[in-house]
């Protein structure tokens, strides 16, 4: 075992990005310890096999129950309140990086690394999160709530790479099949439409909140909606209401009372939005 300062705990999903992270850090002389957080779904067999191929320590942290009780519960509750959650922004500081740092301490690792497309810079004694080089994959905003104590231990090797370059790197290192895999899911615990997930996890949702009315900004009823949790502010498509002109969701009032369970629908003015943005 190398000294603590050369041991890095890598959050290892078994996907493209965490695989490249492990290989890059190995090349830099670090001793890699892989930890796969099992928060949903099946046993992480891919991660186990990759760790064995790379010859690194590997552990599975079974966090399914606490993950469901915190991150998934919050995801459902936010939609119930008419808000659109970003589970990654909540998960990273309160769950993912907390668990990874706890395991890093337990396994004598000075550093924690993940496959986020982000960079870190030190300025005037503070660590700043900086956008990654790939503007299409930049994930710095997912990390904005991490504290200085955690950021000082973090390494993000992919921050200087584009996704295309990461795929090329894996292929060059003999992981060609891995390099051709598809993108990971936007929300790790949802496969498919989030509305189906809400109904599956909360069967009483439709009864609890129920349908209501689309109204315009003057309060005129335009048609019925299926329930506030199934819509997001700014949504234009999939509303199943015909007005003969483009419109979007301006505001959501998710209250049960039929008088209040309203989604305010506003005409979309493309020229106005073009000027504003």
Residues 254 and 169 in one domain: no
Examine residue 73 and state whether it is found in any structural domain, yes or no: yes
Q: Is the domain of 215 the same as that of 98?
A: no
Range of the domain at 222: 206-276
The token pair at 224 is 């019925």
Residues 172 and 245 in one domain: no
Give pLDDT, residue 260. 58
Residue 191 resides in a domain:
no
Between CA 37 and CA 54 the distance in angstroms is 19
Does 69 lie in the same domain as 13? yes
Whether residue 215 sits in one domain with residue 171: no
- Asked, for residue 64, whether it belongs to a domain, the answer is yes
Mark whether 142 and 78 lie in a shared domain.
yes
Q: Tell me, yes or no, whether 48 and 108 share the same domain.
A: yes
> Count of domains in the chain?
2
Catalytic residue among 22, 91, 109, 154: 91
- 63 in Cβ contact with 102 (< 8 Å): no
Please indicate, yes or no, whether residues 169 and 219 belong to a single structural domain of this protein: no
Strands 126-131 and 57-62 come out as unpaired
Beta-carbon-side half-sphere exposure of residue 4 (alpha carbons within 13 Å):
8
Task: Report, in angstroms and rounded to the nearest whole number, the Rg of the chain calculated over CA atoms.
Answer: 22
- Predicted confidence (pLDDT) at residue 273 exceeds the cutoff of 50: no
Domain of 42: which CATH number?
3.40.50.620
In a domain, residue 196? The reply is: no
Residue 14, pLDDT score: 94
Catalytic-role residue among 22, 109, 154, 188: 188
Same domain, 98 and 214: no
Span 21-67, pLDDT tens digits: 999 999 999 999 999 999 998 899 999 999 999 999 999 999 999 99
DSSP string for 85-124:
--HHHHHIIIIIHHHHHHHHHHTT-SEEE---SEEEEEET
Residue 256 pLDDT: 57
Asked if 143 and 87 sit in the same domain, the reply is yes
Report pLDDT for 185: 65
Look up 88 and say whether it is catalytic: no
| Residue 229 shares a structural domain with residue 123 | no
State yes or no: pLDDT of 226 exceeds 60. Answer: yes
Residue 198 lies in a domain: no
Give the model confidence (pLDDT) of 113-133 as tens digits: 999 999 999 999 999 999 999
116 and 153 together in one domain: yes
Asked if residue 238 is part of any domain, the answer here is yes
pLDDT tens digits, residue range 141-159?
Answer: 999 999 999 999 999 999 9
Predicted TM-score (pTM) of the model is: 0.87
């Amino acid at each position: 075992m190398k000294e603590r300062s050369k041991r890095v705990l890598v959050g290892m999903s078994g996907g493209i990005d965490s695989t490249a992270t492990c290989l890059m850090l190995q090349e830099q002389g670090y001793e890699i310890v892989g930890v796969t957080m099992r928060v949903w779904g099946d046993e992480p067999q891919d991660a186990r096999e990759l760790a064995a191929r790379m010859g690194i320590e590997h552990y599975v942290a079974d966090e399914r129950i606490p993950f469901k009780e915190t991150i998934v519960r919050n995801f459902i509750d936010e939609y119930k309140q008419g808000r659109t959650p970003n589970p990654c922004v909540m998960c990273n500081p309160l769950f993912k990086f907390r668990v990874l740092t706890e395991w890093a301490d337990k396994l004598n690792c000075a550093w924690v690394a993940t496959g986020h497309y982000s960079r870190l810079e030190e300025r005037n004694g503070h660590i700043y999160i900086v956008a990654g080089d790939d503007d299409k994959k930049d994930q710095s905003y997912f990390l904005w709530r991490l504290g200085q104590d955690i950021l000082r231990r973090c390494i993000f090797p992919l921050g200087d790479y584009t996704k295309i370059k990461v795929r090329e790197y894996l292929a060059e290192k003999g992981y060609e099949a891995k390099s051709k895999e598809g993108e990971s899911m936007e929300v790790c615990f949802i496969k498919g439409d989030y509305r189906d997930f809400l109904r599956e996890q909360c069967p009483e949702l439709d009864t609890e909140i129920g349908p209501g009315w689309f109204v315009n900004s003057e309060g005129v009823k335009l048609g019925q909606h299926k329930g506030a949790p199934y819509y997001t502010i700014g949504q234009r498509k999939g509303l199943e209401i015909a007005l003969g002109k483009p419109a979007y969701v301006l505001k959501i009032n998710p209250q049960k009372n039929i008088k209040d369970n309203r989604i305010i629908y506003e005409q979309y003015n493309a020229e106005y939005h073009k000027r504003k943005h």
